[in-house]
Amino acid sequence: MVSSMLFGATIAFGASGGDLVKKALDSGLKPMPTGAELDKITGNTKQNQLKIELGKKLYFDPRISSSNLISCNTCHNLGLGGTDVVPAAIGHKWTMNLQHLNSPTVYNSVFNSSQFWDGRSAHLQDQAKGPMQAAPEMNAKPEVIIAKITSIPEYVIAFKKAYGNNVKIDFDIIADTIAIFEKTLVTPSRYDDFLRGNTKALSTQEQEGLELFIDKGCVACHNDINLGGTLQPLGVAKEYKFANVGGFSGNKDGMVKTPTLRNILETMPYFHNGQYWDVKDAIKEMASIQLGVEISDGEAKKIETFFNSLTGTKPEIIYPMLPAQTLDTPKPEFQ
């Protein structure tokens, strides 16, 4: 099924703006929802504002880590496209990810059907628990995280305001609250306007790149709202050039999460192990190993031009003032 999807693409350039919109939609591309529909997905409602603000504080608070040095924002920096812009994530005691895995962007992750490179979490609430506990990342025990949060009066008050006076502050609700904030990190772009019928939203050159992107078969994996976010086999036509770096081979079935292409020009380096800095090289490698086709430098440049339209409008994030700890707050550990 995958092979037929990948190799069955035809090349037919020259669709008009309106025809290209239809072609894109028929190829499985979808615009980001708007208004009440988007708010329902992200939970960005008036009723949730206290939870979102609390989740933002927890997202930026490095005291969640055992060292008091690493926050969620360390690897998923909201000022750097939601990533850390290094080939492999660096965590506790300056430890590089053991499989040389690159930090995926947190922006638009609410639209992914799978979280983590091996897709082991289906939603952000579960995903948020992993990095906090992982030894090469934040290296924190759940009971210590709970002790830190509950020892800080301002956090306790904030949880009661957000969830009610009878709230139990446990590891689940801490992770859930971080995820509630993360769900709001969406970045609509001109590309979405184009898919909704505004043919002037993309330049002629961007439209040409989009059509090439479709006709080459890239939409077989990079589709739906996020142009990615689903599990797919890696190396359908031939082996990835840098497969040996880190040795990551996906889940038990060899499936790897397809990264979103939204804001792709801000989230280098590329691939799960961060081996390409120039997106044009990543485009050519992906076409070769997944589609079994060669993309020229000129074609890669056209697709890169289309990618400009995927750079979205970021939500305004004001760095929060974090509450003061007390003498009861567990001290940092570096072991």
Residues 196 and 243 reside in one and the same domain: yes
Has residue 254 been placed in a domain?
A: yes
How far is residue 118's CA from residue 108's CA, in Å, rounded to a whole number? 18
Domain boundary among 182, 210, 225: 182
Phi, psi of 203 (to 5 degrees): -70, 165
Has residue 328 been placed in a domain?
A: no
Residues 167 and 204 reside in one and the same domain: no
**H-assigned helices in 61-136:** 72-75, 124-127, 129-133
Is 137 annotated in the active site? yes
Per-residue model confidence as pLDDT tens digits over 31-50 = 999 999 999 999 999 999 99
Has residue 8 been placed in a domain?
A: yes
Residues 203 and 299 reside in one and the same domain: yes
Has residue 129 been placed in a domain?
A: yes
Domain with 113 in it: 39-182
Residues 194 and 175 reside in one and the same domain: no
pLDDT averaged over 10-residue windows placed end to end, the chain, 335 residues: 37 70 98 98 97 98 98 98 98 96 98 97 94 96 98 98 98 98 98 98 98 98 98 96 96 97 98 98 98 97 98 97 98 91
Has residue 318 been placed in a domain?
A: no
**H-assigned helices in the chain:** 2-7, 17-26, 35-42, 49-60, 72-75, 124-127, 129-133, 142-150, 153-163, 171-182, 190-195, 204-215, 279-286, 297-307
pLDDT value, residue 14: 62
Residues 131 and 201 reside in one and the same domain: no
pLDDT value, residue 335: 79
Residues 122 and 213 reside in one and the same domain: no
Residues 110 and 9 reside in one and the same domain: no
Residues 171 and 76 reside in one and the same domain: yes
Residues 43 and 176 reside in one and the same domain: yes
Residues 132 and 54 reside in one and the same domain: yes
Neighbours of 129 (CB within 10 A): 19
**Pseudo-torsion of CA 283, 267, 221, 206, nearest 10°?**
-60
DSSP secondary structure string for all residues of 44-65 = -SGGGHHHHHHHHHHHH-GGGS
Residues 279 and 229 reside in one and the same domain: yes
Angle made by CA atoms 57, 60, 65, in degrees to the nearest 5? 110
The residue from 37, 137, 154, 285 that is catalytic is: 137
Instruction: Specify the long-range contacts of residues 191-196, CB closer than 8 Å, at least 24 apart.
Output: 191/31, 191/309, 191/310, 192/31, 192/32, 192/34, 193/31, 194/21, 194/24, 194/309, 195/21, 195/24, 195/25, 195/29, 195/30, 195/31, 196/31
Per-residue model confidence as pLDDT tens digits over 235-260 = 999 999 999 999 999 999 999 999 99
Has residue 317 been placed in a domain?
A: no
Has residue 43 been placed in a domain?
A: yes
Per-residue model confidence as pLDDT tens digits over 204-239 = 999 999 999 999 999 999 999 999 999 999 999 999
Residues 176 and 197 reside in one and the same domain: no
| Residue 293 C-alpha from the chain's centroid | 27
CATH no. for residue 282? Answer: 1.10.760.10
Number of structural domains (the chain) is 2
pLDDT value, residue 270: 98
pLDDT value, residue 16: 73
